[in-house]
Chain A
Amino acid sequence: MKVTLEILRYDPATDKAPHWESYEADVDPMDRVLDALHHVKWYTDGTLAFRRSCAHAVCGSDAMVINGENRLACQLLIKDASPEKPIKVEPIRGLAVEKDLIVDMEPFFDSYRSILPYLMHDGPEPDKEIYQSPEDRERFDDTTKCILCACCTTSCPIYWGSGSYVGPAAIVNAHRFIFDSRDDHADERLAILAEKSGVFRCRTAFNCTEACPREIKVTQAIQEVKREILYRSL
């Protein structure tokens, strides 16, 4: 079938502002939007720039705004993208566009790094694995699914407006370690998230939960971190 893709193009070397360009692609309804983008890049316009790596919703590199919603191009099937109308594809919002659908992810990863996203265990280095009960593992299971695609963070209206909010993805990854029974530095992460740039900037818009391609209950994770900070603050 033939589909029309409307893509928000921007080349800082030649364009003053982003502009829409329309392309036709010959695809199967069971193809992904990523396949349609490949079709455009390989057969119509090789200058189109976008990120993708694994192309199977694991690496999280091809997050983009498709028909107004943050989606992974490799996960959304053509048949589910209203192919009877032009499929609109834009770069994710709140991060500077480098070219076409590629944005500067560094501020996103700066926020991620700021919450110390690694296990910190006090005491002597263990010579075997640290045991954890299935119940303790379950406590943070949902937030281990994050693939750092930035769908949640760049769908957040507070992240768009505020330059200092760490964003949902950073909080989700903090949650993953705060509630890990093997980690001994939850206080440190909670102190970082208790700052003005932290978790209390969340206004529970739920955009993050709707945007997450891994169906992580992002807003719930944020609320759990808020509650944890609150209980330790009173």
Chain B
Amino acid sequence: MAQTLDRNETGTESDQSSAAPNRAEARMWYYMRISGLILVFLALIHFAITHIVNDVVETDFAFVQTRWSNPLWRFFDWTLLALALSHGVIGVRTIAEDYIRKPRLRVAVKALLFTVVAGIFLLGTITIVTFSA
């Protein structure tokens, strides 16, 4: 049960002895707030265009072809992809840090997570950049 957890067997990660203050956690925390705020607008615009303004059955290859003939829409979609993936991966990393108590398993889960997300980001970026009608 929760009361009997041994707090000494958890692989506490502390590098308090290092001279330079750790800014990564603060910056990641801030990034989550900023990216989350931007994503609200980007996701709502994306949702409105693909589900409300246009009928879902019309959002086919031809729709994408027309849309991506304008580089600004490619930039919009790439920004949405980049922010959604980075926001999501930092969020899942947070959950892994909080609830995976075994240090090796935590590292393995995070490595898998970052690899998969980097792969998806690369694939998405290649698709958006190289797409040709």
Q: Which residues of A does B touch, CB under 8 Å?
A: 17-18, 91-97, 103, 107, 114, 158, 160-164, 187, 190-192, 194-198, 200-201, 203, 226, 229-230, 232-234
Contact = CB atoms under 8 A, between A and B. Distances in A.
Interface of B: 1-16, 21-23, 25-30, 97-99, 101
B5 A96 contact: yes
A94 B2 CA distance: 6
Contact of B13 (A161, A191, A197): A197
A190 B21 contact: yes
A203 B99 CA distance: 13
A93 B3 contact: yes
Contacts of B98: 158, 161-162, 201, 203
Nearest to A65: B3
Given A194-B25, A226-B29, A94 B5 contact: yes
Contact of B26 (A164, A192, A226): A226
A194 B23 contact: yes
Contacts of B21: 187, 190-191, 194, 232-233
Contacts of A232: 21
A47 to B, nearest CB: 19
A41 to B, nearest CB: 21
Main secondary structure of the interface of B (DSSP, over half): loop
A233 B23 contact: yes
19 contacts: A96-B6, A97-B3, A103-B3, A160-B2, A161-B98, A162-B98, A164-B12, A164-B13, A191-B21, A194-B21, A194-B26, A195-B16, A196-B13, A196-B14, A201-B98, A203-B98, A226-B26, A230-B29, A234-B27
B22 A195 contact: yes
B3 A94 contact: yes
B7 A163 contact: yes
Given A95-B7, A200-B26, 12 more contacts: A94-B2, A96-B4, A96-B6, A163-B7, A163-B12, A164-B10, A194-B25, A194-B26, A195-B15, A200-B29, A230-B26, A233-B26
Contacts of A17: 1
Nearest to A191: B21
Contact of B16 (A160, A161, A192, A200): A192
Contacts of A95: 3, 7
Contact of A107 (B7, B16, B23, B27): B7
Nearest to A201: B98
A191 B14 CA distance: 11
A96 B7 CA distance: 8
Contacts of A230: 26, 29-30
A229 B101 CA distance: 26
B10 to A, nearest CB: 2
Contacts of A18: 1, 3
A198 to B, nearest CB: 7
A96 B3 contact: yes
A12 to B, nearest CB: 9
B3 A163 contact: no
B7 A194 contact: no
Contacts of B3: 18, 91-97, 103
